[in-house]
Amino acid sequence: MHAVINRIEQLVETLGALARSCVLVLVLLVSANVLIRYGFSVSPVALQELEWFLISPIALLGISYVLKHRADVRVDFIYEKFQPRTQAAVDLFSALATCLIGAFLAWVCWHYMMQSYAIGEGSPDPGGLPHRFLVKAFLPLGFALFALQGIADTLRALKGLLASNPTPEEALP
């Protein structure tokens, strides 16, 4: 069980690094766009659209990364008073919900992305970027990764529940 958790979280960590890199690229791109617009009175549509394209991996790969590092918003004032086994049960319920929601949204988004691919969707703006399905591919990928992180959290919570005397570290995802 521990090996599966580590493999999933290694994938989440790797794709989270990609999301972090996209933040840096986005900052540099916005800065360049501002300099080009105000310095040379040129405003390339493709570069503006690329800004929006970079937001997709940041948000959609970042949700799993944030969940892995427990940087998400939680209501801990009640949770912290629970015994480790009760915390593990709450974590199990939350992780299962994460799996179900992530898998459902990945499935729905897959059809949305494939429809975009099938029609060869591109930018409606002149000079915009083609292949819009590429940015839409982050929808099923991001939610599938979210479901995978939910699986890792489910396994960790099960490990905490099945331990004879779980420590707080074993019970928490």
The rounded Cα 45 to chain-centroid distance in angstroms is 27
How high is the pLDDT of residue 36?
A: 94
How high is the pLDDT of residue 172?
A: 55
Q: What is the pTM of this model?
A: 0.86
How high is the pLDDT of residue 116?
A: 95
How high is the pLDDT of residue 103?
A: 98
Here the tokens at position 58 are 């940041």
How high is the pLDDT of residue 84?
A: 86
Tens-level pLDDT at each residue, the chain (173 residues) = 889 999 999 999 999 999 999 999 999 999 999 999 999 999 899 999 999 899 999 999 999 999 999 887 777 788 888 888 888 899 999 999 999 999 999 999 999 999 999 999 998 888 889 999 999 999 999 999 999 999 999 999 999 888 766 555 555 55
Number of helices and strands (H, E) in the chain?
7, 0
Question: Please, which residues have CB within 8 angstroms of residue 23's CB and are 6 or more apart in sequence?
Answer: 58
Categorise residue 51: left if φ over 0, alpha if ψ from -120 to 50, beta otherwise: alpha
Q: Are 130 and 122 in contact (CB under 8 A)?
A: yes
How high is the pLDDT of residue 59?
A: 95
